[in-house]
Amino acid sequence: MPAPRRSKLWLWFVAAFALQFAVWAAWLTFAAHHRVDEVPLATAR
C-alpha cells in the first residue's frame, strides 16, 4: 500500500504570504521615494 501524498497547501500559504510581503515592501519603498506635498480636498458644490 503506497503512502498517502502529503498536502502542499501549507506551501501555497507561505508563498502567498511571501508574495504579499514583497508587494507591500515594494509599494512602501515606491511611496517613500515619491512623497506627496499636499493632497487636494474636494470642495462641496
pLDDT tens, residue by residue, 1-45? 677 788 899 999 999 999 999 999 999 999 999 888 887 888 776
What is the distance between the alpha carbons of residues 44 and 32, in angstroms, rounded to a whole number?
31
Grid cell at residue 18: 511571501
**What length is written for the chain?**
45
Residue 45: its pLDDT value, please? 66
Burial 5-25 (b: 16+ CB within 10 A, else e): eeeeeeeeeeeeeeeeeeeee
Grid cell at residue 22: 514583497
Helix (H) / strand (E) containing 28? helix 9-33
Residue 32: its pLDDT value, please? 92
pTM: 0.61
